[in-house]
Chains A and B, each alone.
Chain A
């Protein structure tokens, strides 16, 4: 049996690679009689990658693998797109009997709960002025687990109290209930649905295509994360409700991939250029903190506290922000909540991986002072690839790979641009 070599191209970004594999293709058939079956041919023998170098040591190989993994970081498109910052999302959890499968650790249901909690926390961290509602589908009917509001703790409590799975999943019921929740949202906010779909069929009471038409008319965008296999109706829903360029339907290949697909939805979606008529000025209040001598009740929870924030319009006291004032319905936020979304609107440019041919003269990373490897120290094949220096196109400073990852994923600022006088 001839070996079928898989393309170990490490420069391709990981999720792009895996999303291609996530689609059902006709690789299931035997190509010719000499090869074995596909599942034999495409089996990745991970021990083949690791080879000893001339002295029989593995240190260089391991370091090279780690560096290649770091460089595979998703190079995002950094054009400053218009994005929907004020988001309203409905998360649909699958509580059908398909979630009792044990192919993830150690049941699909438990992994879904764990990642849903992480999703809720990350969503509110990246989009503090947004709202979330949660729906669960069990026994073919959709149940509202939590209403549309902006307090992450109460969502997490409700998610953690879910216990059992039963019955079938119904796409139409879930979408209809989500559509009802999102129907009265003002046009400047986004309307989104994120479905975790663990089964491969859906038992619907009516014509789901009517529901899809209604979703398109209401401008609701649906994203689906499939756990089992690609299902044609999910592909249809995602293609029709989103703009043509986005890939809103992903099927998971592993637990890590599930995590990545879920957290992709925390990034604010780019607004469709054909639908421009939904921007307006939103009135919001910016209260200041007060500390009181004696405790008083807050209007949001009716709990006593010795301080809080006074609504600038009606002077009611609330204890947490962001919140809608319970008496006059004014949205109350801090300026830091708005500031959290700025890095989506003004993304950091990607840095250029400098090859040795560019003859770089820097010796240490500008940001963290770690020394760069010299040309003589690196092995031949690594020299071909990169000098491990990353240059910012604006300020022309050189950074190491750790600072590159740190700046693009956590800090969203370029150290060199901030340290220059302009």
Chain B
């Protein structure tokens, strides 16, 4: 029996550290399903290849631990849908053809088929060219799903967003509310920006401790995903992740949409203006002092 004692790890260094504990984690993926953006991306690389890379990423997450969970949401310009998991009442059975690819692990098959079938269905369902996507709606539903999953037993969660379209200015306040909620619940939001550029999502990644990854060459998408976005919060400490040096937190004025360094803030409704004015256009309050009021501190 003495031979076996030398194989034991010294106590206190291995069991106590949190990274060693094998706990399951939940990954929620939000896919931007705006057909116009995918079409412009398809000129550089076929859509099927990008989706295949994303599928491999999802399967890898499921393979990492037996109890890992995944959820996929797709956001269009007028609706947000759960691609996986699907509630049982809808027509889910026909999507899984039991005769095809019977050798694949069932969980991988389900996720692959639902994601690919759902994306195909969503992109074929509309022909309108719109530059919008309902990112704030998808984020809020993802947070609700995580809240529900964590209600019985705590599970470590994170959100990964694949974004192709730019920001929608009207969604600023809802997006910020989602970011603050994720910050409070310790849910990092990581972004994989395949095309276009988003300012709100950069702020989201910075505020919640996630990674903002801008993919220049979509052909190497899978490598980017596996190296950077695949490890979760605990493993990230040991890796050299890309950091954002210059996140632009400056405000834009409400009247001209210029980016401001110094602005004038209405004390009632917090709207920002670039020059002093007599009354606020959002809340219609007349400003009493004609000179600029400076806040006095003790």
- Chain A residues proximal to chain B, CB less than 8 Å: 82, 85-86, 131, 147-149, 181, 184-189, 271, 276-291, 312-313, 324, 329-331, 334-336, 338-343, 345-346, 363-364, 366-371, 400, 402-403, 406-407, 410-413, 415, 418-421
A286 to B260, Cβ gap below 8 A? yes
Check if B266 sits within 8 Å of A279, measured CB to CB.
yes
Known contacts A287-B261, A289-B246, A278 near B144 by CB under 8 Å: no
Could you show 19 A-B contacts with beta carbons less than 8 Å apart?
A: A85-B270, A188-B267, A279-B287, A281-B287, A281-B292, A283-B262, A283-B264, A284-B263, A284-B265, A288-B250, A290-B246, A329-B294, A342-B176, A368-B147, A407-B140, A413-B174, A415-B140, A418-B171, A421-B78
Is the Cβ of B289 less than 8 Å from the Cβ of A280? yes
How would residues 263 to 298 of chain B score, 1 for a CB under 8 Å from any chain A CB and 0 otherwise? 111111110110011001001011111001111111
Alpha-carbon separation in the docked complex, A185 to B288 (Å): 16
Do A342 and B297 touch across chains, with their CB atoms under 8 A apart?
no
A371 and B89 CA atoms in complex are apart in Å by 10
Q: Which residues of B contact A312 (CB under 8 A)?
A: 261-262
Most chain B CB atoms below 10 A, which of A280, A282, A285: A280
Min CB–CB distance A338 → chain B (angstroms): 5
Give the residue name and chain of the A residue nearest to B285 (CB): A279
Question: What residues of chain A lie closer than 8 Å to B136, measured between beta carbons?
Answer: 413, 418
Q: Does A338 contact B140, Cβ atoms closer than 8 Å?
A: no
Those 4 A-B pairs whose CB atoms lie nearest each other, nearest first: A421-B78, A419-B137, A367-B144, A418-B137
Closest to B71 in A: A369
Q: Which residues of A contact B194 (CB under 8 A)?
A: none
Please indicate the chain B residues that have their CB under 8 angstroms from the CB of A289 in the complex. Answer: 245-247, 249
Chain A: CB-nearest residue to B185: A410
Which residue of chain A has the shortest Cβ distance to B247 in the bound complex?
A289
Task: Indicate if the CB atoms of B184 and A402 lie closer than 8 Å.
Answer: no
B140 touches A367 (CB 8 A): yes
Q: Given the known A-B contacts A371-B87, A403-B144, are A286 and B176 also in contact in the complex, defined by CB atoms under 8 Å?
A: no
Q: How far is the CA of A341 from the CA of B272 in the complex (A)?
A: 14
Interface residues on B, range: 35 or more
B140 surroundings in chain A (CB, below 8 A)? 367, 407, 411, 413, 415, 418-419
- Please determine whether B265 and A339 come into contact, CB atoms closer than 8 angstroms: no
Is B173 on the interface with A (CB-CB < 8 A)? yes
A329–B248 alpha-carbon span in the complex (Å): 23
Is there a chain A Cβ closer than 8 Å to B193's Cβ?
Answer: no
Check B293 against A188 for contact (C-beta < 8 Å).
yes
Contact yes or no, A343 B177, CB < 8 A: yes
User: Which residues of A have CB within 8 Å of B270?
Assistant: 85, 338, 341-342, 345
Which residues in A have their C-beta under 8 angstroms from that of B267? 85-86, 188-189, 278-282
B170-196 CB contact bits vs A (8 Å, 1 = yes)? 011110111111001100000000000
Q: Does B85 contact A (CB under 8 A)?
A: yes
| Binary flags per residue of B109-143, CB closer than 8 Å to A gives 1, else 0 | 00000000000000000000000001011101101
Complex contacts, A277 vs chain B, CB 8 Å: 288
Contacts of A415 in B (CB 8 A): 137, 140-141, 144
- Minimal beta-carbon separation of B111 from chain A (angstroms): 15
16 more CB-based (< 8 A) A-B contacts, given A282-B295, A286-B249, A346-B173: A147-B298, A188-B293, A281-B266, A281-B292, A338-B251, A341-B270, A343-B177, A345-B270, A368-B145, A369-B82, A369-B145, A406-B143, A411-B178, A415-B144, A419-B79, A421-B77
B207 contacts the other chain (CB 8 A): yes
- Which residues does chain B contribute within 8 Å of A367, judged by CB atoms? 140-141, 144-145
A269→B40 CA distance, assembly (Å): 50
**Would A421 and B261 count as touching, CB distance under 8 A?**
no
B148 close to A (CB within 8 Å): yes
* Chain A residue contacts of B296, Cβ below 8 A: 184-186
Contacting residue for B298 out of A184, A290, A364, CB 8 A:
A184
Which positions 202-251 of chain B face chain A at CB distance < 8 Å? 203, 207, 245-251
| Highest count of chain B CB atoms <10 Å: which of A324, A335, A369 | A335
Shortest CB distance A356–B (Å):
19
Which of A131, A312, A336 is most buried by chain B, counting CB atoms within 10 A of its CB?
A: A336
| Beta-carbon nearest neighbor of A399 in chain B | B144
Query: Which of B82, B89, B269, B277 has a CB less than 8 Å from the CB of A345?
Result: B269
Contacts of B285 in A (CB 8 A): 276, 279
A278 contact set on B, CB distance < 8 A: 267, 288
**A368 vs B144: C-alpha distance when bound (angstroms):** 6
Is B201 an interface position by the 8 A CB rule? no
Residues of B within 8 A of A181 (CB): 298
Known: A280-B289, A411-B178. A291 touches B246 (CB 8 A): yes
How close is A366's CB to chain B, nearest CB, in angstroms?
8
A282 with B264: CB separation less than 8 A: yes
Q: Does B164 contact A (CB under 8 A)?
A: no
Determine if A281 and B276 form an interchain contact, defined as CB atoms under 8 angstroms apart.
yes
B151 close to A (CB within 8 Å): yes
- A82 CA to B260 CA, complexed, in Å: 26
Hey, which chain A residues are within 8 Å of B82, CB to CB? 369
Q: Is the C-beta of B80 less than 8 angstroms from some C-beta in chain A?
A: yes
Contacts of A340 in B (CB 8 A): 176, 180
A187 to B185, CA, bound (A): 36
A286 to B261 CA separation, bound complex (whole angstroms)? 5
Nearest CB on A from B212, distance (A): 14
Docked Cα-Cα span, A419 to B77, in Å, equals 9
Q: Which of A85, A187, A411 has the most CB of B within 10 A?
A: A411
B159 to chain A, nearest CB (A): 14
A279 to B171, CA, bound (A): 27
Q: Please measure, in the bound complex, the distance between the C-alpha atom of A53 and the C-alpha atom of B293, giving whole angstroms.
A: 67
Contacts of A329 in B (CB 8 A): 294, 297
Q: A312-B261, A403-B147 are in contact. Are A82 and B268 (CB under 8 A)?
A: yes
Q: In the complex, A276 Cα to B283 Cα: how many Å?
A: 13
What A residues does B77 contact at CB under 8 A? Answer: 421
- Are A281 and B264 closer than 8 Å at their CB atoms? yes
Set of chain A residues within 8 Å of B134, measured between Cβ atoms = 418-419, 421
